[in-house]
Amino acid sequence: MSVMPGDNIPSQKLVIMDKEKGPQPFSLDEFCKEKKIVLFGVPGAFTPTCARNHLPGYIEKAQAIKDKGVAEILCFATNDIFTMTAWEEMSGAIGEIVFLSDSKAKFSKLLGTDFPDSFGTSIKTKRCSILITNGVIEQFFVESEDGVVDVSSADHMLTCL
């Protein structure tokens, strides 16, 4: 299954780290109600392109994106929530971007962005970005090449707002 602009964001739960309670289920479709959200997906925390090219753009442009009416910027990957939390802390993104785990790739499969990891044994998500308004996908961009940050970049998302 793949989603398209005009579709509701899938209701599959992701995982978020609560500083007091630990890992918690996160309902993206519930969170997106009554808000404009930017969600971007990366193949893996700490991987070269994700850590050097994709995430830094969203950190640098976070305020500009929020100034255009976006309530929150969220990042997801198929890494476990402990890895995502460590990446959030080490990247300096705390307070700018919410990090989520799709460790079983269930959400990625619903989006149609899942692919087998050629270096390991897991399923990854293709690099993507999604503009969601009131739970509905307004824009959905998926990179066509591995290692490229173009249509899923913060700069490109800014042009869509």
pTM equals: 0.95
Look at residue 117 in the predicted model and tell me its pLDDT. Answer: 84
Q: Which two tokens stand for residue 131?
A: 């503009």
pLDDT tens, position by position, 20-41: 999 999 999 999 999 999 999 9
Q: Mind listing the pLDDT tens digit for each residue in 142-156?
A: 998 878 899 999 999
C-alpha closest to that of 37 among 100, 88, 108, 86: 100
Q: Which two tokens stand for residue 137?
A: 């996908």
Residue 20, Cβ density class (10 Å: 0-12 exposed, 13-18 middle, ≥19 buried): exposed
Low-confidence ranges of the chain (pLDDT < 70): 1, 121
**Rounded-to-10 torsion of CA 124, 46, 96, 140:** -30
Closest to 54 in 3D by CA, of 159, 143, 160, 123: 143
Q: Quick one: pLDDT at residue 1?
A: 54
Beta-bridge mates of residue 73: 38
Domains of the chain with bracketed CATH:
14-160 (3.40.30.10)
Active site residue 50: yes
